[in-house]
Amino acid sequence: MRYQEDVSAMVTMTSSATEKVQDFIQEHGVEGEAGLRLAVLPGGCSGFQYGLNIEDGPEADDEVLDVNGVKVFMDAFSTQYLEGVEIDYVTSMMGQGFTFQNPKASGGCGCGSSFTV
């Protein structure tokens, strides 16, 4: 596990995303090393999709980031695609959910949760 505190260029989260993740962590009743697993997974209509999950702690080979007080866990495969990504949580007439602004994505689809590099 590699732990980094200065990750300003790696991953950013808006205050609304940070609050929502902290709410999810509290709702799941996990404490201590709990955090957000941020992953890139094969699939989706554009080739890759984002994965988010609340986990009790990091895996041994994870990159561990502190983003606005939230621990973010990323595996080596995902890290290469997530540098510079901004995570937001939005609410609109169409629904609510996390959105991703990824400078490494060369394309995406209408759902907003899958991308191409």
Percent of the chain with pLDDT over 70: 79
pLDDT score of 86 more than 70 = yes
Give alpha helix (H) positions in 52-116. 76-82
Model confidence pLDDT, tens digit, residues 53-65: 999 999 999 999 9
In a domain, 100, yes or no: yes
Helix or strand run (H / E) with residue 55: strand 48-55
Look at the chain and report how many structural domains it folds into: 1
Which pTM was predicted?
Answer: 0.80
In a domain, 98, yes or no: yes
What is the span of the domain harbouring residue 90? Answer: 2-104
In a domain, 117, yes or no: no
In a domain, 73, yes or no: yes
Among left, alpha and beta (phi > 0; psi -120 to 50; other), residue 29 is left
